[in-house]
Structure 1
Amino acid sequence: MHSETPATEEPAVARGAVAIITNRRGELLLHLRDDLPHIAWPAHWSLLGGGCDPGEAPATAIVRELDEEAGLTTDSLTELFEITDHRGSGQIITFFAARWDGDETRLPLSEGVKLQFFAPEHLDILTIPPFIRDGINRYLAARPS
């Protein structure tokens, strides 16, 4: 007698996407997250972005998240690399890069406390999630000087 054992599917790993947005001065746009205990990395400076909806590609998610969180659109998103947020959400995060030269104080922020451009040399004093700091450092090390 032959018994069929159904294949068990591994649950899909949660995914997310963030954008390293720079301006013409080489400053990076950071997002001060809300100080709420139920979110990952409360009260930390991070990059704009968020989780992918079920079946959503990271490239689609980052466009949606930039619009939802800050009314921000850019047509120059470039996919960079992935980093896992081992100490927070556990998500595999796809990093993107884009350039935007607007006034961040005029963006309609719908999540978080504040958006602000920072020069790379000032990032060391900020409280930034480790995986975000790793991604920013990797990006800065690879870009032409």
Structure 2
Amino acid sequence: MARREAIVAVLRRDGRVLVVRRGPDVARPGYWQPLSGKLEPGETQRQALVREVHEEIGLTVSPGAKVWESLTDDGHFRLHWWTTEDSTGDPVPDGDEVTEARWVTPEEYLELTPVFEGDREFFERILPNL
């Protein structure tokens, strides 16, 4: 099985990270996670990051640094975790892909349910060192 590539956008503002609840038109709706999305053919990770953030919540961001790499729990995707240089403005969820967006502290994220184990690992182990 060929693994697909995807990005995860770590948008930070005032000590909080933007997380979204997956919408009805995507796999595993209802899960809380940082913004993410598949790379399109010929697209760089940086391009995918900017596009996905804009499509899902309407914000314009600049890529920061790649800070981590992980696999999804089903092994179908390699996730490339990137920080972003945040734009101003409030997120406006797309509705189909995202039903809710929320700025949370790492501690608040760990109280949300359901979440993916890999995302939990990021908030517990990687984020505190960024």
> Which residue is equivalent to 1:42?
29
Aligned: 1:113 with 2:102: no
Cα distance change of structure 1 residues 99 and 55 upon mapping to structure 2, 3 Å threshold: closer
TM-score, normalised to structure 1's length? 0.76
* Deviation for aligned residue 1:35: 4.2
RMSD, matched Cα = 2.1
Contact kept in structure 1, 2:73 and 2:117, CA below 8 Å: no
> Which residue is equivalent to 2:54?
67
Task: Structure 1 unaligned segments of length 5 or more: list them.
Answer: 1-10
2:20 to 25, 28, 31: 31
Contact kept in structure 2, 1:23 and 1:99, CA below 8 Å: no
Identical aligned pairs, as a percentage? 25
Q: How does 1:1-145 map to 2 (within 5 A)?
A: 12-24=2-14, 26-35=15-24, 39-87=26-74, 90-100=76-86, 102-104=88-90, 107-110=91-94, 111-127=97-113, 128-143=115-130
Cα distance change of structure 1 residues 41 and 130 upon mapping to structure 2, 3 Å threshold: farther
TM-score, normalised to structure 2's length? 0.83
Task: Structure 2 unaligned segments of length 5 or more: list them.
Answer: none
